[in-house]
Amino acid sequence: MRMSKLFVQTLREFPSDAEVISHKLLVRAGYIRKLANGIYNYLPLMWRVLKKIESIVREEMDNAGAQELLMPFVQPAELWQESGRWDVYGKELMRLKDRHSREMCLGPTHEEVITSIAREGIRSYKQLPINLYQIQSKFRDEIRPRFGLLRGREFIMKDAYSFDIDEEGLDKSYQIMADAYKRIFERCGLETKMVQSDSGAIGGSVSHEFMVLVNEESENNAGENDVFYCTKCGYSANSNHAVSVLNPVITEGKYTKSEIIDTPNTHSIDELANFLNIPESIICKCLIYVVDGKYVAALIRGDRTVEETKLMNVFAGNDIRIARNDEIEEIMQLSGYSAIAGFIGPKGLKNVEIVADETVKDLKNFVIGCNVNDKHLVGANWGVDVELPSKIADIRLVEENDKCIDCGSPLKVTKGIEVGNIFKLGTKYSKKMNATFTDKNGQEKPFIMGCYGIGISRTAAAAVERHHDEYGIIWPIAIAPYKVIVVPVSDQDETQMKVAEYIYNKLLDSKVEVLLDDRSERAGVKLKDADLIGIPYRITVGKTIKDNLVEFKTRAGNITETISPDDAIAKILSI
RNA sequence: CGGGAUGUAGCGCAGCUUGGUAGCGCACUUCGCUUGGGACGAAGGGGUCGCACGUUCGAAUCGUGUCAUCCCGACCA
């Protein structure tokens, strides 16, 4: 491709509305252009990158035995009502009506559609196992789209769905996908960590996420997930799912008798611990949440934090948030108290389900709110002063240096970008949607399903997050829009132009994806653009051509060497 | 949904306090000159100043409303 004809416009400056580096660079280098909030045009260079990633994904999926198909982007509400997700998916689901006022939605994911395909097309166990996938645009009306391609509302995703006879088959399908994913990201030039994860709105039991770790100390960290991992045994999990063994702390208070004492203005654990001069770990914290519209009180040791996803899962909820002040007021009124946040305790709460984290059950002579403002109960004990809730669960957020559940080593934490995920769905959709097959014994059985996603556009953005420098993008070769760019320093110099054309045509003949910067620009402009756009190799034809020498530059590491044009061609062909 | 900020040419911004009919840099067009790290000179083209209503003889500027965008929070009792 000749640069003079390529549809690309690089900018001198970064766009003002971009925060993270992948967003800034992709806009500035002319790869993407925003159309609306969280919705982007993929310009020719970007589209080439996306197609590269897609074809790697296709190859690996096909090799793994999956078959590609394409499902509609617009989906009827009926299917979503069947699965029950029409009501629970929330505002993220973009709903619309057709001209007959029939309700539709834009697909944020395709479990419903694929299940309907399976129940019509798969009748017998003989057709199983099977894995169907597509690469397609998805729409999710995010609360807060941001970070360019990393969290858009419309994005490109590969989604695959496996159907098996039994759990054993699912385990196999799952493992095949896990292996394929590892290869896909490796081939894209991305190191990923496969971490255990919560299965979220999609549902199911087991799930893993593929994370690109981005723990550089940059102020604008694009990693939206916290990943806890063990360097010794390899355990790793998203913070929404991670578990740990606690380090020992003081769990017995200094109090010899239980009494309610004044604790003025101690709204936070920090203030309370300071006021009483006690460690936070002998305070029992009581937090009010709203899970799917119902009130929930969560008890946890004062030095620890509630993990909301874990808490929500205790109640099999879809939505969780901390209660507002007016809601706390309502609970207090109903229970005959009047305390505000900071002084809440579990005792006597009405219309509230209570769950205790494992951390509180061993507390002795501890401190706890008693639903009276500016007062706390100290020296409390379970069964004596307060009933230990019957519901006890792990609802705490793991912290760095907690011990690994598998080997006991201290855990570390890092930020990650989730580029892929795999779920064991089981029969969640097949049962609800009555998608069954006939097994060996003539019995009707629901499909055992798995689903597997890769964010294609997010993977591209993650690659930029991971591979760039102060001059611009440094694409991994496998997903670069072009492999090499040939730059004649001066378009006035006939010899330079001739040699550049020669190299360009030779490479074209060998089917190398090559750019020729034939623009009538000054050298600086062309060289800056080549760096910014991030083409992996650059062959610069300049003055040294009189000695039959060109500059060969590898963008990664910015390594240059001076060789003959034919050697440069040979070098490219050997890569 | 709450808090803060910003909407002026494709991009980055000034002008607004103190109202008088819009400007700078980059990009774009033409000409000249220049060609190893975002040159220079000259001449051009492009904007209903987010939108609506209001105040005024007159509004980018003041007021009200609205929409959009960005950031922060969604919070640890």
- A328 in contact with nucleic chain B (CB within 7 A): yes
CATH T-level assignment (fold) for domain A259-393: YbaK protein (3.90.960)
Tokens 């203030």 found at:
A271
Instruction: Give the span between the Cα atoms of A420 and A52, in whole angstroms.
Output: 17
A6 in Cβ contact with A515 (< 8 Å) = yes
Instruction: Give the span between the Cα atoms of A542 and A391, in whole angstroms.
Output: 75
- A493 in contact with nucleic chain B (CB within 7 A): yes
Supply the pLDDT for residue A367.
93
CATH T-level assignment (fold) for domain A21-242+413-465: BirA Bifunctional Protein; domain 2 (3.30.930)
Q: Take residue A110 and report the two structure tokens written for it.
A: 């395709």
Tokens 């001059």 found at:
A471
A432 in Cβ contact with A269 (< 8 Å) = no
Residue A83: partners with Cβ closer than 8 Å, 6 or more residues away: A111, A112, A115, A429, A432, A433
Supply the pLDDT for residue A216.
60
CA of A37 to C1' of B64 (A): 27
Which helix (H) or strand (E) segment holds residue A300: the answer is strand A294-301
Instruction: Give the span between the Cα atoms of A219 and A240, in whole angstroms.
Output: 23
Q: Take residue A360 and report the two structure tokens written for it.
A: 């509180």
- A218 in contact with nucleic chain B (CB within 7 A): no
A149 in Cβ contact with A405 (< 8 Å) = no
User: For chain A, percent helix, then strand, then coil, each to nearest 5?
Assistant: 30, 30, 40
Q: Take residue A134 and report the two structure tokens written for it.
A: 């597509």
Please state the domain extents for chain A. 21-242+413-465, 259-393, 482-574
- Integer CA distances (angstroms), A303 to A265, A359, A379, in order: 19, 10, 17
Strand order across the A537-541 sheet = A514-516, A484-488, A537-541, A550-554, A559-563
CA of A524 to C1' of B36 (A): 7
- A24 in contact with nucleic chain B (CB within 7 A): no
Tokens 């166990």 found at:
A125
CA of A151 to C1' of B17 (A): 40
What is the nearest nucleotide to A34, using C1' and CA?
B69
Question: Residue A130: exposed, middle, or buried by beta-carbon count in 10 A (0-12, 13-18, 19+)?
Answer: middle
Q: A42: closest CA among A31, A51, A53, A54?
A: A31
Helix segments in A346-406, DSSP class H: none
Helices and strands counted in chain A (H then E):
14, 31
Tokens 């940059």 found at:
A218
- A54 in contact with nucleic chain B (CB within 7 A): no
- pLDDT averaged per 10 residues in sequence order, chain A, 575 residues: 93 89 94 89 95 97 97 93 87 87 92 95 96 95 86 93 96 96 97 85 74 70 83 90 91 90 86 90 91 88 89 83 82 86 87 91 92 91 91 90 93 90 92 95 96 95 93 96 97 94 97 96 95 97 95 97 97 96
Supply the pLDDT for residue A413.
87
- A361 in contact with nucleic chain B (CB within 7 A): no
CB atoms within 10 A of CB A83: 20
What is the nearest nucleotide to A339, using C1' and CA?
B77
CA of A156 to C1' of B51 (A): 33
- A397 in contact with nucleic chain B (CB within 7 A): yes
Instruction: Give the span between the Cα atoms of A469 and A458, in whole angstroms.
Output: 19
Q: A401: closest CA among A413, A418, A391, A390?
A: A413
Q: Is the pTM of this model over 0.90?
A: yes
CB atoms within 10 A of CB A546: 10
- A528 in contact with nucleic chain B (CB within 7 A): yes
Which helix (H) or strand (E) segment holds residue A540: the answer is strand A537-541
Which helix (H) or strand (E) segment holds residue A201: the answer is none
Chain B nucleotides reached by a protein CB under 7 Å: 1, 10-13, 25-27, 34-39, 68-77
* Backbone φ, ψ for residue A177 (5° rounding): -65, -45
Supply the pLDDT for residue A341.
83
What is the nearest nucleotide to A343, using C1' and CA?
B77
Residue A286: partners with Cβ closer than 8 Å, 6 or more residues away: A297, A298, A299, A344, A345, A346, A368, A369
CA of A17 to C1' of B35 (A): 35
CB atoms within 10 A of CB A185: 27
Cis peptide leading into residue A481 (ω within 30°): no
What is the Cβ-side half-sphere exposure of residue A56, based on CA atoms within 13 angstroms?
A: 25
Q: Which amino acid is at A332?
A: M
Instruction: Give the span between the Cα atoms of A194 and A234, in whole angstroms.
Output: 10
Instruction: Give the span between the Cα atoms of A133 and A109, in whole angstroms.
Output: 12
Tokens 């899970």 found at:
A291
What is the dotted CATH code of the domain comprising A482-574? 3.40.50.800
* Backbone φ, ψ for residue A167 (5° rounding): -60, -40
DSSP state of A190: -
Residue A13, classed as helix, strand or coil, is: coil
Supply the pLDDT for residue A240.
86
